Amino acid sequence: MDLQVFIDQLDRLGEVKRVDGADWDLEIGALTELSDERKGPALLFDRIKGYPPGYRLVSNLTGTPRRLAAAFGYPPDIPNIDLVRQIKDRFKDLKPIDPVYVEKGPVTENVYGDGEVDLTKFPAPKWHELDGGRYLGTGDMVISRDPDGGWVNAGTYRAQLHDRETLGGFISPGHHGRIIREMYWARGKSCPMALVFGAHPMVLWPSFLALPWGTGEYGMCGGLLGEPLQLIKGEYTGLPIPAHAEIAVEGECPPPEVESREEGPFGEWPGYYASGERKEPVIKVKRVMHRNNPIVVGFPPMKPPASGHASYIVRASNIWYEMERLGIPGIKGVWNMRSGGSKFLIVVAIEQKYAGHARQAAMAAMSGNEGAFHGRFVIVVDEDIDPTNDEDVLWAVATRCDPATSIEVVTQCWSTPLDPTLPPDKRARGDFTNSRAIISAVRPFHWRKEFPRVNRASNELREATMKKWRHLFPES
């Protein structure tokens, strides 16, 4: 559960590059983007311009399937669809393990109370050229407690650095963290919050996922880790904070009418500055903790196919799990096309069992918490198509989809202010909905046996030929 131990593990796999002397002002962001586009290593920045040695930042931490597999404890060269399946089965079989409280941990090595807070001591990059400021929180955990149910939510939401004691807090409508803080505001109260700016990926990943309301991420962390997550109790908020976090802060988010500040613009994961600049709530920080030589985790959103954290794989696993919970049979694989970010292009491969099966699978893929938010296309293919192979999927769309009968559009779906296609008038009235297209790229069920055969060599012939003529394919 220790980030620094995980980075050492990646280092032994040859998956970390150390970078000294980079500038927080755009240079770290550009290096992160260039490395991710080339499927390069994780980047560990030290001696960042204007910061003393030891105040570090890591980016592209799980930016490739190889590093994501290492985080989950799988062989680094596991095939993509097997990785999705393994993670899906991990979710399916997961038994939450309640966290345990400890008196102290690495995060309490340095503690600063009210009046001593200085958030500017931590490297907060300006990630993109048109960003409205510096963002300390990209690969973060924003922790809050439901005032009615008492359960604790941890979500990943961006956090802009305003000054020594103040962060900006944009959360898209419908997300649990936003709902919880509005519950406090409705009572005329500030919402207590804690934020973590560096954690092991297995501690961080549940906060990325769309879990059902009332599901605590910490129990899921324990189930994924196979042992209870160690927590400390925040002295200011009483909120539970991972003891092995790199940096954690506590504070409160007052109602927006009490204090708001201009937030953004920020280059978000769809690849646009869609949400602009506007007044957003703030978080007034009252307490800071950090370990010696702390590491900020940077998961900056980037124009796809760059992502920096391979969330498209974990989200695909969660969609597959949601579909199985709905009882959809014959699922052979689920994938999110990397070029569509983590949500825009969902691909589902099925073995058709009955008429309407393909359409049912598509509707299920976009109906769970994970698949419902801000998608665009759901593509259903037959079991002979590898959903992780974009060329294979596009071939199925080109040859098995009849545009007049195989495409359906669903309207009034859950979207977000980050949606670049929202018209100005719709955005102005807060109508954050969009449409989804279902593309059935499968053989028509009623005459699938008469559908023309594929002219690809059989697997048996390919394997026998490769065995005999392997010297012609030295890279295979």
The backbone torsions φ and ψ at residue 80, rounded to the nearest 5 degrees and listed phi first, read -55, -50
- pLDDT exceeds cutoff 90 at 409: yes
pLDDT of res. 211: 84
The backbone torsions φ and ψ at residue 410, rounded to the nearest 5 degrees and listed phi first, read -110, 130
Alpha-carbon distance 415 to 73, whole Å? 34
- pLDDT exceeds cutoff 80 at 270: yes
- pLDDT exceeds cutoff 80 at 201: yes
134-164 tens-digit pLDDT: 999 999 999 999 999 999 999 999 999 999 9
pTM of the model: 0.89
CATH 3.40.1670.10 domain span(s) along the chain = 311-459
Average pLDDT for 298-314: 86
Alpha-carbon distance 218 to 239, whole Å? 12
pLDDT of res. 1: 82
Read off the tokens for 24. 């927080």
pLDDT of res. 373: 86
Alpha-carbon distance 238 to 383, whole Å? 50
Alpha-carbon distance 447 to 74, whole Å? 41
318-365 tens-digit pLDDT: 999 999 999 999 999 999 998 877 788 999 999 999 999 999 999 999
Q: Judging by DSSP bridges, how do beta strands 278-290 and 166-169 pair with one another?
A: antiparallel
Alpha-carbon distance 101 to 194, whole Å? 16
Alpha-carbon distance 355 to 398, whole Å? 22
Quick one: which of 209, 200, 229, 199 has its CA closest to 98? Answer: 229
Read off the tokens for 252. 């409160």
pLDDT of res. 310: 83
Average pLDDT for 388-393: 95
Contacts of 242 (CB under 8 A, 6+ apart): 1, 105, 107, 141, 196, 199, 203, 229, 230, 231, 248
Q: What percent of the chain lies above the pLDDT cut of 70?
A: 100
72-97 tens-digit pLDDT: 999 989 999 999 999 999 999 989 99
- pLDDT exceeds cutoff 80 at 193: yes
pLDDT of res. 434: 92
- pLDDT exceeds cutoff 70 at 65: yes
Alpha-carbon distance 337 to 345, whole Å? 6
Give the domain 311-459 fold: UbiD C-terminal domain-like (3.40.1670)
pLDDT of res. 304: 84
Q: Which pLDDT band, with edges at 50, 70 and 90, does 209 fall under?
A: confident
- pLDDT exceeds cutoff 80 at 260: yes
Phi-psi map region of 214: left, alpha, beta (phi>0 left; psi -120 to 50 alpha) = left
Quick one: which of 247, 136, 236 has its CA closest to 199? Answer: 247
CATH 2.30.110.10 domain span(s) along the chain = 97-298
449-469 tens-digit pLDDT: 999 999 999 999 999 999 999
Average pLDDT for 276-293: 96
Average pLDDT for 386-392: 95
Q: Which pLDDT band, with edges at 50, 70 and 90, does 476 fall under?
A: low
Q: Say whether domain 97-298 belongs to CATH 3.30.70.2740.
A: no
Average pLDDT for 289-315: 90
In the chain, the N- to C-terminal Cα span, in Å, equals 36
Alpha-carbon distance 305 to 340, whole Å? 7
